[in-house]
């Protein structure tokens, strides 16, 4: 559309802001007026194949070294109140009486509109040899905190929404927060050629109390994932397709990805999130154990009229904490 004047540009920008605020308020009121809020905080990562432990506790400690993973995601750039998420995970393998285990610690901090979410969880997994691969059974045990900035809520004047906002005590008018115990479970199987996993997050559907009359609870979310390595005639190149399906049995979302890996050092590829976005991603593995990756989500819905896309950056570091003197050599057997 041709821009004819600064006045038109300013009007269009203010009109978009008004629409976003109006939509957010209608959704907020519809949810909070139920008395008990159903908060579906599901972290969404385009590069999930590099951080499967973020949604499946059984996938921790895939390799034989300490593993540090960090992801920062800025969703829907330019849209007021869009989600911003930072995730950190540290995991390690160990053995007890010749049996293999994995242990980890994860932290997540997310802001979405007037809502905030943080969780800290301990991860544990038992690993056993099964056929050509390793079967892992894992669990997350931790605490989740959810807050709401009621003092910043946008409450319109007049009767545009046909609701008596001032008389509803279910909508907090101040900053509120609460904490609850949280449990997640998962199973994961991996071979050098393929992997598959199933998990359920927030299996206990924790309820967070804000006040005597205001609560919110987190519903369970199920994940199914799988992928494989397909060597090409050029031995330096490997195709790595994967898929991630998640549902709460009311809504669902599917990610389908295809990465091209060159010499197990560089990769690039495309992904499609059903009815949501086309994803471009790429990265590099460095010889010192560092791995860097970037993804850009391009909306394929009407959302593109309000945002040009989402950015996601991830960093992993694999290292050995053994006190014995060894050659400084990086080794990892992670599938993806």
Q: Return the pLDDT at 10.
A: 41
Q: Return the pLDDT at 116.
A: 92
Q: Return the pLDDT at 151.
A: 74
* CATH at residue 279: 2.40.160.40
Q: Please give the chain's pLDDT, 336 residues, in tens.
A: 444 434 433 433 443 444 444 434 433 443 343 344 445 567 899 999 999 999 999 999 998 899 999 999 999 999 988 999 999 999 999 999 999 999 999 999 999 988 899 999 999 999 999 999 999 999 999 999 999 887 777 666 555 554 444 445 666 777 888 999 999 999 999 999 999 999 999 999 999 988 887 888 899 999 999 999 999 988 899 999 999 999 999 999 999 999 999 998 999 999 999 999 999 999 999 988 999 999 999 999 999 999 999 999 999 999 987 644 555 554 444 444
Q: Return the pLDDT at 154.
A: 65
Note whether residue 86 is domain-resident: yes
- The range of the structural domain enclosing residue 313 comes to 6-319
Note whether residue 251 is domain-resident: yes
Domain count of the fold of the chain: 1
- Long-range pairs of 330-333 with CB within 8 A, sequence gap ≥ 24: 330/287, 330/288, 330/289, 331/63, 331/64, 331/65, 332/63, 332/64, 332/65, 332/289, 333/62, 333/63, 333/64, 333/192
290-299 and 310-319 beta bridge pairing: antiparallel
Q: Return the pLDDT at 12.
A: 38
Note whether residue 130 is domain-resident: yes
- Asked whether the CA dihedral 248, 86, 334, 298 is positive or negative, the reply is positive
Q: Which of 258, 188, 252 is nearest to 225 (CA)?
A: 188
Q: Return the pLDDT at 329.
A: 52
Q: Return the pLDDT at 152.
A: 72
Note whether residue 180 is domain-resident: yes
Q: Determine contact, residues 260/267, Cβ cutoff 8 Å.
A: yes
- Long-range pairs of 291-300 with CB within 8 A, sequence gap ≥ 24: 291/50, 291/315, 291/316, 291/317, 291/318, 293/47, 293/50, 295/46, 295/47, 295/271, 297/46, 297/75, 297/273, 299/76, 300/275, 300/276
């Amino acid at each position: 559309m041709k821009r004819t004047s600064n006045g038109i540009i300013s009007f269009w920008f203010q009109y978009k802001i008004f629409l976003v605020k109006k939509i957010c308020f209608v959704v907020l009121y519809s949810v909070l007026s139920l008395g008990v809020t159903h908060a579906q905080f599901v972290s969404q990562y385009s590069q999930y194949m590099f951080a499967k432990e973020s949604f499946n506790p059984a996938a921790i400690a895939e390799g034989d070294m300490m593993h540090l993973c960090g992801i920062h995601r800025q969703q829907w750039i330019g849209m007021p109140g869009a989600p911003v998420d930072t995730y950190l995970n540290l995991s390690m393998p160990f053995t007890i009486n010749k049996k293999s285990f994995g242990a980890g610690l994860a932290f997540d901090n997310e802001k979405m509109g007037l809502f905030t979410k943080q969780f800290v969880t301990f991860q544990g997994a038992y690993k056993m040899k099964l056929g050509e691969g390793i079967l892992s059974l894992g669990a997350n045990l931790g605490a989740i905190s959810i807050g709401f900035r009621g003092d910043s809520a946008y409450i319109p004047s007049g009767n545009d929404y046909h609701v008596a906002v001032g008389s509803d005590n279910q909508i907090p008018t101040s900053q509120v927060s609460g904490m609850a115990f949280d449990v997640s479970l998962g199973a994961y199987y991996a071979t050098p050629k393929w992997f598959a996993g199933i998990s359920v997050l927030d299996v206990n559907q924790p309820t967070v109390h804000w006040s005597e009359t205001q609560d919110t609870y987190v519903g369970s979310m199920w994940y199914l994932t799988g992928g494989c390595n397909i060597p090409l005639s050029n031995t330096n190149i490997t195709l790595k397709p994967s898929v991630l399906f998640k549902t709460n049995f009311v809504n669902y979302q599917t990610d389908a990805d295809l990465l091209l890996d060159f010499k197990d050092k560089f990769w690039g590829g495309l992904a499609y999130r059903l009815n949501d976005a086309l994803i471009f991603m790429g990265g590099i593995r460095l010889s010192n154990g560092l791995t860097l990756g970037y993804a850009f989500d391009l909306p394929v819905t009407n959302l593109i009229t309000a945002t040009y896309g989402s950015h996601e950056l991830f960093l992993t570091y694999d290292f050995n904490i053994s006190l014995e003197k060894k050659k400084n050599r990086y080794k990892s057997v992670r599938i993806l």
